[in-house]
């Protein structure tokens, strides 16, 4: 079972939860179509901090 994940409206409690949700999604499977697992040589995680809101 999968659903559309929308970062603007969905809230998850941790980066791990976001990762699990996205990795189980149809969108991820579609993005990875055509790539062989043997072609992936390195995976890195970078936690980003939210930028301040624009006053515009």
Whole-structure pTM value: 0.43
For residue 45, tell me if it sits in a domain.
no
Say if 13 falls within a structural domain. Answer: yes
pLDDT band for position 17 (cuts 50, 70, 90): confident
Question: Which tokens belong to 5?
Answer: 């994940």
Evaluate whether residue 28 is within a structural domain. Answer: yes
How many Cβ atoms from other residues are within 10 Å of residue 23's Cβ?
10
| Domain assignment of residue 3, yes or no | yes
- Model pLDDT for residues 29-56, shown as the tens digit of each residue: 898 888 888 888 888 888 888 778 766 6
Domain membership of residue 41 (yes or no) is no
- 55 in any annotated domain: no
Domain holding 21, by residue range, is: 1-36
Kindly indicate the confidence band of residue 10, based on its pLDDT and cuts at 50, 70 and 90. low
Cα–Cα distances (Å) from 45 to 2, 20, 27, 28, in that order, read 23, 13, 19, 16
Whether the predicted pLDDT of 11 surpasses 70: no
- Residue 37's alpha-carbon distances to 16, 18, 30, in angstroms, are 21, 21, 14
Contact indicator for 27, 5 with CB cutoff of 8 Å = yes
The confidence band for 12, taking pLDDT boundaries of 50, 70 and 90, is low
């Amino acid at each position: 079972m999968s659903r559309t994940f929308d970062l603007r409206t969905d809230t998850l409690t941790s980066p791990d939860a976001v990762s699990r949700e996205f990795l189980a999604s149809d969108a991820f499977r579609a993005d990875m179509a055509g790539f062989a697992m043997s072609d992936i040589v390195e995976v890195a995680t970078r936690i980003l901090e939210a930028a301040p809101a624009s006053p515009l």
